[in-house]
Structure 1
Amino acid sequence: MTEWAAKRFWTGATVTEAETGYGIALDGRAVKTPAKMPLAVPTRALAAAIAAEWDAVGERIDPRAMPMTRSANAAIDKVAHQHGEVADMIAAYGGTDLLCYRATNPQELVLRQSEEWDPLLDWADSALGVRLRPVTGVMPEAQDPAALAALRARVHAHDPFALAALHDLVALSGSLIIGLAAEADARDIATLWQVSRLDEAWQAELWGADEEAEDMAAVKRAAFLHSKEFFLLLGEASAPSTPT
């Protein structure tokens, strides 16, 4: 059975118990990922959310309307087989974290960046034991190797499902610290998205909003909020262990 069949062929979707957690069945037939792996997730809550997406399908399947299914597929088919590479890619954001690259002018933007970004760097220092240093300008400057190593260890401690969600939080915001803060509930998720869009918001205030850019930002925001919801449904099952 292929997951992305064009037309709906089932009556109902149910959650089942699987060897590796919880699966989803369509009229008793187990759902598989695009790579033909069992679609099994760590928590019943996530499986129930995926089953609800399948139950909500109309006459034809639209993968864009099934974000929980797509994220689970990515974790199983891609991240699980490339865990180290994906973790390294995410951890690399720490070396060029959005929160560390500050404007030199105008003073109003400099002040706004400091007011909104410094508290998150302080949170990383107190909660994660990692201090990243703000720099001015756009040229990369090396961060403390020990801080980057600690961030890398923390990222690698995530299981494939949590890593898939963290990847999107970090890639969409441009900040490893924002991604980890979202995972840890350090700030409201909508606020964190706004913080990541500070520079874009500033430009829009100066020159007016661009409709196409606003539409793209709305799509990214929805994906950012979805990734946090995915974390919530994973619960404790995918919480990263404390790096040693």
Structure 2
Amino acid sequence: MAPGGLLSLSARVPAPLDCPGNRGHGLQTEPSGSSAACGPQGRSGKTVLPLGWLACPLLSEASGSWQTTLCNTSLDNPTQRGKDQLIQAAAKFLDTDTICYRVEEPETLVELQRNEWDPVIGWAERRYGVKIGSSTSIMGPSIPARTREVLVSHLASYNTWALQGIEFVVSQLKSMVLTLGLIDLHLTVEQAVLLSRLEETFQIQKWGNVEWAHDYEVWDLQARTAAGALFVHLCSESSAVKHKLLQG
């Protein structure tokens, strides 16, 4: 990290690393700067991703590149969106949340959705004191106004950088509920991705897996999701140092 929180290529190259918008790479927190500079591998060579989020080194490298992309987006803000716009962009997924839409047949898939998705919805309802529910209607469930207000208020507690990460994760999983479970550490990345692809996984188990295609899709989605979740945590991190005076 260069002076002033700017990211430089190395200690011997004092010039800061610029993002695509030709702005110095100034990061919100030191951990987010280290992550963008070194990828998911810290200076010690040990992974800085939470244990169990990524098991494959290739995924770790892919996740690191997505973190750098999120840093660039947060710095340049190419769409010129403020905090309220970022919150609304994430909250709109409540109306089309993947795990709130249910099928009516076949019965095996109906039961699978009920067994796998209902516990996550139940957790979110207890965690935030709201009502979410599910529906088999093509119009989806009717989300109560209070639920939207509570979740929007929760999102407002994050800074704009973290909100960029939250919107990124929501857009990957197509689910606000799964994203909240992931950010709150109720779900792992693998669990969140599996739940977001439940119907597709059901079809693969029934008709077979195209290894080189379906496996890559899962790994890519895991890398993107892990990058976004880690970005949120790093941008929300705060630390303080207290110095103790030694008594003579």
Under TM normalisation by the shorter chain, which class is it? 0.7 to 0.9
Q: Which amino acid aligns with 1:86?
A: L
Closer, same or farther: CA 139–72 of 1 in aligned 2, 3 Å: same
Please report how far the alpha carbon of residue 75 of structure 1 lies from its aligned counterpart in structure 2 after TM superposition: 1.3
Off by >4 Å, runs of 4+ in structure 1: none
Q: Distance in 1 between matches of 2:208 and 2:74?
A: 39
Q: Which amino acid aligns with 1:172?
A: Q
Work out the percentage of aligned pairs sharing the same amino acid.
21
Given that 1:97 and 1:176 are in contact with CA atoms closer than 8 Å, whether structure 2 keeps it comes out as: yes
The structure that is strand-richer by fraction is: 1
Closer, same or farther: CA 64–234 of 1 in aligned 2, 3 Å: closer
SS in 1 for 2:163: helix
Indicate the residue corresponding to 1:181 in structure 2. Answer: 181
Report 1 or 2 for greater relative contact order, CA contacts < 8 Å, sequence distance ≥ 6. Answer: 2
Indicate the residue corresponding to 1:225 in structure 2. Answer: 226
Q: Which amino acid aligns with 2:217?
A: M
Matched residue pairs, number? 214
Q: Distance in 2 between matches of 1:65 and 1:48?
A: 10
Given that 2:193 and 2:221 are in contact with CA atoms closer than 8 Å, whether structure 1 keeps it comes out as: no
Q: Mind listing any 5+ residue stretches in structure 1 that lack a counterpart?
A: 1-14, 57-62, 238-244
Matched, 1:131 2:148: no
Given that 1:79 and 1:163 are in contact with CA atoms closer than 8 Å, whether structure 2 keeps it comes out as: no
Closer, same or farther: CA 79–118 of 1 in aligned 2, 3 Å: farther
Closer, same or farther: CA 66–125 of 1 in aligned 2, 3 Å: same
Closer, same or farther: CA 64–91 of 1 in aligned 2, 3 Å: closer
Q: Give a deviation string over 1:159-213, Cα, whole Å, max 9, x none.
A: 1221111112111111001111111111222111111111110111111224534
RMSD: 2.6
Counterpart of 1:51 (choices 32, 37, 50) is 37
Q: Give a deviation string over 1:131-177, Cα, whole Å, max 9, x none.
A: 20111143334211111122222223321221111112111111001
Q: Give a deviation string over 1:84-123, Cα, whole Å, max 9, x none.
A: 3232111011122111111111221111111111111111
